[in-house]
């Protein structure tokens, strides 16, 4: 399944996806590119994703998970740092090369209702992608080949190919998400970004889609960046987990290790809140205001974890990732 | 059901002095449908549910299972028509009122709603009035139901804010909903709900829109409040993990019927109904790493086309012939639980 015509030039020691010191700053209107400040939605993020693995990205709403994924796709080009996919630096690609290259990376969003065009039959939705990559262009019997490809893709995700002339509203939520996945796979990507792909689905349907994703990953040697706020799900799926907080990765490592021994105070706090583990101890005094953002006063959402634990002077500096164990890193201030 | 097991183990100390543990709500054989003829949707088909004071009763189900229809029916907020309450009774015993809610006059219902039966919704942003200061919205309740006026109302509102963890801050009273974070808005919603000291709180997915750390705080707050105010809570959720963490009793609803009901420990440690068993097995968590998730085949039926017999039979691996023809009655099992299934105890296919 690799009809990639762009040279793969990976050194053997390199990860499939290398994200290095990635930054994405948004500027307020009128402030100009050199205007002071701006809002750093993604700040100094470095990640390595191994081929054919699932990398889980967790964090609370507004922490920059989605911005990061859009920056990786170059939908919102990052304002700093590097992204290398299979050894190719995305920044060096010309606009047209970027277009062809991008088919290797696809994204599945949370809400299939807004990712499928309601006025297009699902067949046409999938063909759109195939036409974009000029599938079977100029070949004899192109139409038949296109039709076959659509049938093949639908069968792959468990949708009866005979239903391909139907429209999105004729399918249930879980089926729609399957169709979205089929469409993403139509251009033969090797890297999928899954942005909360099951959080809109019913509990009994979630498991079906998760099993499908795991199956497809093996069958097609895919690599996933799985973004979710559902820690139970991420800990079930991922080989590695990165915890994001206010635009920065505060801890990353192998799932088992990070779940067993979270180091960063934010990770600890987040994992201690995973529902379904122990009954909440209602006798224990509630600590209020812990993560209530300072309300109004123009403060950004969230608050910084460090100042409460470190002297104020130190808190001004930006923390660095420190590898504390094989593949397990945590953001901290070096003494 | 006098053999109620009080399984809120650590409740003793914090339980209010006035605690009786008596029934606050008893729904019997409730049937609700929408529309007629071809498009008739029988959303709720004979629900029985009992909630005691100081008890957090979770109603778990997927979308379209009838959870929200049941709760709006209790509140008297179900518009009739289009809804038709075909049968059943909702017995309520509160501070001042007692009797079948469905027989209450509209005026009496209005006086109960908000005063004795309160509700917290999923998206606080949608239910708070964006044009009114938060303090106004709390004091509105105090004035309307309890006759508080002026400074006294404000003082009481401040106390309530303190209770929900927005401690004694006049700034919060004077702010508009948009100035508050999601967690604070939900606390304000809770403050509005509890400010008249209700006997029954209906919480419909109150933490679904919140991040996990906030979710835990709000859940803990709700758990504590049920003892502090000695109220029964009907907690509606699709999230089994959340229910696991907070519930005293759990009822599992599928296609407008309660298929299994029991204490939290009974449901989570040894579920009996095939739907409950599959549902619990299909939830991913770290312990299931590397194993394939159990799935429930098919999809949730919609209310216009509930299958005949046991509504779960088309998706059930244990289903026999009669499951398609007859409706299994609720069967009382050991302990405090009951389940509706012909195949209880039948061996699970490999």
Per-domain residue ranges of chain A: 17-104+189-332
Q: What is the ipTM for the molecules in this complex?
A: 0.78
Does A207 contact B296 at a Cβ distance shorter than 8 Å? yes
User: Which of B223, B235, B293, B302 is most worth mutating to test chain A (most A CB atoms within 10 A of its CB)?
Assistant: B293
What confidence score (pLDDT) does residue A315 get? 46
Dihedral-angle region of residue B266 (phi above 0 means left; psi in -120 to 50 means alpha; beta otherwise) = alpha
Q: What whole-number distance in Å separates Cα of residue B200 and Cα of residue B51?
A: 9
Residue among A204, A270, A278 whose CB faces B282 most closely: A204
**CB contacts < 8 Å between A and B, how many?**
148
Burial (0-12, 13-18, 19+ Cβ within 10 Å), A36? exposed
What confidence score (pLDDT) does residue B39 get? 80
What confidence score (pLDDT) does residue B2 get? 36
Q: What whole-number distance in Å separates Cα of residue A147 and Cα of residue A144?
A: 5
Does A292 contact B239 at a Cβ distance shorter than 8 Å? no
Residue among B180, B213, B286 whose CB faces A236 most closely: B286
Residue among B172, B245, B295 whose CB faces A275 most closely: B245
A contacts of B209 (beta carbons < 8 Å): none
Say yes or no: B191 contacts chain A, CB-CB below 8 A: no
Structural fold of domain A17-104+189-332? Rossmann fold (3.40.50)
Q: What whole-number distance in Å separates Cα of residue A93 and Cα of residue B283?
A: 42
Which residues of chain B fall short of a pLDDT of 50? 1-20
Largest Cα–Cα separation, chain A: 74
Taking the CA of residue B334 and the nearest CA in chain A, the distance in Å comes to 23
Which whole-number Å values give the CA distances from A143 to A137, A138, A147, A148, in the listed order? Answer: 10, 10, 6, 9
User: Which of A64, A233, A276 is most worth mutating to test chain B (most B CB atoms within 10 A of its CB)?
Assistant: A276
What confidence score (pLDDT) does residue B232 get? 93
Which residues of chain A fall short of a pLDDT of 50? 1-12, 288-316, 334-335
Say yes or no: B213 contacts chain A, CB-CB below 8 A: yes
A contacts of B215 (beta carbons < 8 Å): 273, 275
Taking the CA of residue B172 and the nearest CA in chain A, the distance in Å comes to 9
Taking the CA of residue A270 and the nearest CA in chain B, the distance in Å comes to 6
A contacts of B296 (beta carbons < 8 Å): 204, 207-208
Express each pLDDT in B22-74 by its tens digit: 889 999 999 998 888 778 888 899 899 999 999 999 999 888 888 888 998 99
Reduced to 3 states, what is the DSSP secondary structure of residue B276? Answer: helix
What confidence score (pLDDT) does residue B10 get? 39
Burial (0-12, 13-18, 19+ Cβ within 10 Å), A43? buried
Q: What whole-number distance in Å separates Cα of residue A283 and Cα of residue A289?
A: 18
Reduced to 3 states, what is the DSSP secondary structure of residue A211? Answer: helix
Residues 105 through 134 of chain B touching chain A, CB cutoff 8 Å? none
């Amino acid at each position: 399944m690799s009809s990639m015509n762009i040279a793969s030039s990976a050194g053997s020691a390199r990860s499939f996806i290398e994200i290095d010191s990635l930054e994405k700053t948004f500027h307020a209107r009128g402030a100009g590119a050199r205007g002071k400040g701006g809002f750093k939605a993604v700040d100094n993020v470095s990640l390595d994703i191994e081929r054919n693995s699932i990398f889980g990205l967790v964090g609370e709403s507004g922490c920059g998970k989605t911005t990061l994924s859009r920056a990786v796709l170059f939908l919102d080009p990052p304002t700093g740092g590097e992204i290398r996919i299979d050894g190719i630096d995305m920044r060096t690609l010309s606009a047209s090369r970027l277009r062809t290259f991008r088919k290797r990376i696809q994204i599945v969003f949370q809400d299939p209702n807004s990712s499928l065009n309601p006025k297009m039959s699902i067949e046409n939705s999938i063909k759109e992608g195939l036409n974009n990559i000029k599938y079977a262009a100029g070949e004899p019997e192109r139409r038949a080949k296109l039709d076959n490809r659509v049938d093949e893709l639908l069968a792959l995700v468990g949708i009866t190919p005979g239903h391909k002339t139907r429209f999105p509203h004729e399918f249930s939520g879980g089926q729609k998400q399957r169709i979205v996945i089929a469409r993403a796979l139509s251009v033969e990507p090797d890297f999928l970004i899954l942005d909360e792909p099951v959080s809109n689905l019913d509990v009994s349907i979630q498991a079906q889609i998760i099993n499908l994703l795991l199956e497809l990953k093996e069958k097609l040697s895919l690599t996933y960046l799985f973004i979710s706020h559902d820690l139970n799900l991420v800990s079930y799926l991922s080989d590695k987990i990165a915890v994001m907080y206010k635009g920065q990765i505060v801890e990353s490592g192998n799932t088992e290790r990070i779940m067993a021994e979270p180091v960063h105070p934010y990770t600890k706090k987040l994992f201690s809140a995973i529902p379904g583990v122990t009954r909440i101890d209602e006798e224990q005094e509630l600590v209020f205001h812990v993560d209530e953002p300072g309300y109004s006063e123009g403060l950004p959402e969230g608050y910084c974890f460090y100042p409460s634990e470190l002297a104020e002077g130190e808190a001004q500096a930006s923390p660095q990732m420190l590898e504390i164990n094989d593949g397990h890193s945590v953001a901290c201030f070096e003494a | 059901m006098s053999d109620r097991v009080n399984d809120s183990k650590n409740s003793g100390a914090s339980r209010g002095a006035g605690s009786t543990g008596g029934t606050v709500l008893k729904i019997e054989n409730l049937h609700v449908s929408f529309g007629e003829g071809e498009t008739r949707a029988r959303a709720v088909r004979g629900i029985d549910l009992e909630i005691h004071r100081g008890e957090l009763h979770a109603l778990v189900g997927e979308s379209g299972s009838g959870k929200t229809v049941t709760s709006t029916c209790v509140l008297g907020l179900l518009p009739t028509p289009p809804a038709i309450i075909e049968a059943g009774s909702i017995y309520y015993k509160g501070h001042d009122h007692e009797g079948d809610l469905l027989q209450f006059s509209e005026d009496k219902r209005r006086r109960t709603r908000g005063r004795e039966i309160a509700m917290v919704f999923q998206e606080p942003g949608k239910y708070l009035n964006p044009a009114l200061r938060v303090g106004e919205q709390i004091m509105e309740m105090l004035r309307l139901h309890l006759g508080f006026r002026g400074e006294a109302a404000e003082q009481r509102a401040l106390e309530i804010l303190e209770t929900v963890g927005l401690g004694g801050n006049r700034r919060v009273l004077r702010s508009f909903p948009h100035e508050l974070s999601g967690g604070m808005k939900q606390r304000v919603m809770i403050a509005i709900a509890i400010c008249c000291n209700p006997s029954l709180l209906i919480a419909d997915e109150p933490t679904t829109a919140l991040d996990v750390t906030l979710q835990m705080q709000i859940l803990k707050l709700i758990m504590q409040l049920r003892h502090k105010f000695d109220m029964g809570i009907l907690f509606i959720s699709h999230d089994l993990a959340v229910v696991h963490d907070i519930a005293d009793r759990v009822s599992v609803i599928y296609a407008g019927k309660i298929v299994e009901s029991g204490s939290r420990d009974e449901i989570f440690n040894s579920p009996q109904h095939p739907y409950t068993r599959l549902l619990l097995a299909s939830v991913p968590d770290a312990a299931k790493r590397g194993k394939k998730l159990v799935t429930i085949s098919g999809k949730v039926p919609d209310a216009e086309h509930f299958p005949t017999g046991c509504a779960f039979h088309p998706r059930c691996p244990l289903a026999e012939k009669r499951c398609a023809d007859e409706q299994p009655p609720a069967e009382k099992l050991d302990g405090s639980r009951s389940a509706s299934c012909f195949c209880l105890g039948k061996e699970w296919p490999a």
